[in-house]
Structure formats: structure tokens, C-alpha cells
């Protein structure tokens, strides 16, 4: 089980799984994780969630409801899964896929080429805490299963607000706090035992998937994350639980 969270990291520290580390060290460690798992990332998503992540992403795109001509920034979307879904729904949209890890972007670029998606999508490497992008440029900012991996989550949310145009939409899909006690116990048994085992035997990297399990438990719950979005400047903040709170969608707007 996850150790109690009564001892918060210092201002220059954050959690990397169950370890307290320097902010810059977490960014490097996360980069190492995703370099290691990039080749099997999509396969592992299917195995770990029994394919349910596809339904969660479909729900995300339904709620986003991308419109023709929208400019969308998809942060942490290296393999292109969310970006390609957006373009399927709105072919005239323009999506910038932004990711910390070039190896993940390489996978996404190859995937887009295999699907014949040669336009309407750009691939940019960088840190979500310091987007190398002008302010008020995007109609929507999406981030799926990434925010918990960012060292300074508050900084990333302020950057999201900065690059959204007035009237722009923020939408986050992330693992969250299970709302049903019986389901929570089953989920703990599943995630703490099966997921690292899959990491070891399929991705040949147990340590990275142990980190991913631990990072989920360290991530703020639905209400706390909603408060963080509001503190960043976003308004009309709300959330929807998916699969009993195993995952959640958080929405906000730059008004």
C-alpha cells in the first residue's frame, strides 16, 4: 500500500512514485521511464486496462467535441492516440502533440504516417512546465495520463491557462480516486500485483511500471485537482468520474 502522505515534499521537491526527489531529478527520471517503455507503451495500455483506456479516451473526445478549424495542444500525447482521435472527429483541426520524450514522439509520428495522417499534426518535444509556445494560441488544451508525471503540476496548469485563448477549453484525463470502496480494494490488488508483473514480463521493465502504479496513488483526488485548476485561472471547472473513479475527466475554461 502507499505510505501516508502526511509528510509533504519541500518546495523544491516532489514525489517520484514513493520517493521524494528534487524537481529537476523527477523530470529526468520520468524521461528515463518513458524512453524505456516507448516501444511497448500502447500495447501495455491495452493490457493494463483490458482495453478500457480506449473507452475513456472516446469519452474525452466526446466531451471535448472538437470543432472545425480548432487549434489543439495535446500535452503528453507522444504516441498520438488522442491527437489522431481529435483529427478523426474534426479533420480540419490542427493538433500540436507535445511530449517530454522524443522516443514517444517518434512512435506517434510513425503511427500517424502509417495511418496516412501527414498534415494537420505537429510534433514538439519539451517540458509542460515551460511551453515554448506563444500565449493565447489554442482553442483547446488536452492532457491524457500525463499530469501526474509532471514535476511541478501547478506550473504546468498555469502554462495551460497561458496558451489558451479566451474561451479556450482545458480537458484532462487522468487516473483518480476510486469512489466505490469494494472496487477500490479490488483495484489495489490488481494494480499493485498484476501491473508490475506485466511490466516485467511484457515491457521487460518492472521498475517503470511500479513507478506508474505508485504515481497514481500520489496524484491529487478529484476535488483537489479541481481546486488546482481553479487556482491556475480556469473557470467553470468540473469533473466526471469514469469506471467508478478509476479515471476522471476534468474540464475548465479560460474565460
For the chain, what is the radius of gyration of the CA atoms? 17
Nearest CA to 172 out of 30, 28, 59, 36 is that of 59
Residue 92's pLDDT is what?
98
Looking at residue 211, its pLDDT comes to 86
3-class secondary-structure state, position 99: strand
Q: Report yes or no: 155 and 44 within 8 Å, Cβ to Cβ.
A: no
Q: How confident is the model over 164-176, as pLDDT tens digits?
A: 999 999 999 999 9
Is the pLDDT score of 22 beyond 70? Answer: yes
The model's pLDDT over 185-223, given as tens digits with 9 standing for 90+, comes to 888 888 888 788 877 887 777 888 888 888 988 999 999
The pLDDT tens digits for 100-135 are 999 999 999 999 999 999 999 999 999 999 999 999
Region 49-56: mean pLDDT is: 91
Q: What is the pLDDT of residue 1?
A: 41
DSSP state at residue 234: -
C-alpha distance from residue 159 to each of 68, 70, 81, 215 (Å): 24, 19, 22, 22
Cell of 211: 513507478
For 77-98, write each residue's pLDDT tens digit. 999 999 999 999 999 999 999 9
pLDDT tens string 127-147: 999 999 999 999 999 999 999
Domain annotation for the chain: domains and CATH numbers: 65-176+219-253 (3.40.50.150)
pLDDT at 11: 61
Mean pLDDT (the chain, rounded): 91
Q: What is the pLDDT of residue 3?
A: 41
Residue 4 pLDDT exceeds 80:
no
pLDDT score, position 200: 84
pLDDT digits (tens, 9 = 90+) for 237-254: 999 999 999 999 999 999
CA geometry: angle at 28 spanning 25 and 30, to 5°?
105
d(CA 74, CA 123): 10
CA distance 80 to 84: 6
Q: How many CB atoms lie within 10 A of CB 177?
A: 18
- Looking at per-residue pLDDT, the higher value among 203 and 148 belongs to 148
Q: What are the respective helix, strand and coil percentages of the chain, to the nearest 5? A: 50, 25, 30
7 confidence band (pLDDT: 50, 70, 90): very low
17 Cα distance to chain centroid: 16
Amino acid at each position: 500500500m502507499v505510505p501516508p502522505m502526511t509528510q509533504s515534499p519541500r518546495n523544491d521537491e516532489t514525489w517520484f512514485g514513493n520517493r521524494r526527489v528534487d524537481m529537476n531529478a523527477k523530470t529526468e527520471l520520468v524521461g528515463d521511464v518513458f524512453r524505456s517503455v516507448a516501444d511497448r507503451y500502447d500495447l501495455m495500455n491495452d493490457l493494463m486496462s483490458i482495453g478500457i483506456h480506449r473507452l475513456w479516451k472516446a469519452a474525452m473526445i466526446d466531451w471535448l467535441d472538437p470543432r472545425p478549424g480548432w487549434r489543439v495542444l495535446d500535452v503528453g500525447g507522444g504516441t498520438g492516440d488522442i491527437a489522431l482521435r481529435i483529427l478523426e472527429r474534426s479533420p480540419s483541426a490542427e493538433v500540436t502533440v507535445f511530449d517530454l520524450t522524443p522516443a514517444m514522439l517518434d512512435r506517434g509520428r510513425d503511427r500517424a504516417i502509417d495511418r496516412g495522417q501527414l498534415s494537420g499534426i505537429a510534433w514538439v518535444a519539451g517540458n509542460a512546465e515551460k511551453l515554448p509556445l506563444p500565449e493565447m494560441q489554442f482553442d483547446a488544451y488536452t492532457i491524457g495520463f500525463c499530469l501526474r508525471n509532471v514535476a511541478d503540476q501547478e506550473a504546468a496548469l498555469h502554462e495551460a491557462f497561458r496558451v489558451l485563448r479566451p474561451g479556450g477549453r482545458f480537458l484532462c484525463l487522468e487516473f483518480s480516486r476510486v469512489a466505490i470502496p469494494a472496487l477500490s480494494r479490488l483495484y489495489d490488488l490488481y494494480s499493485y500485483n498484476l501491473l508490475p508483473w506485466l511490466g516485467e514480463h511484457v515491457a521487460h521493465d518492472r521498475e517503470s511500471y511500479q513507478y506508474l502504479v505508485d504515481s497514481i496513488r500520489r496524484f491529487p483526488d478529484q476535488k483537489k485537482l479541481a481546486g488546482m485548476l481553479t487556482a491556475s485561472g480556469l473557470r467553470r471547472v468540473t469533473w466526471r468520474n469514469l469506471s467508478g473513479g478509476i479515471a476522471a475527466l476534468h474540464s475548465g475554461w479560460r474565460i
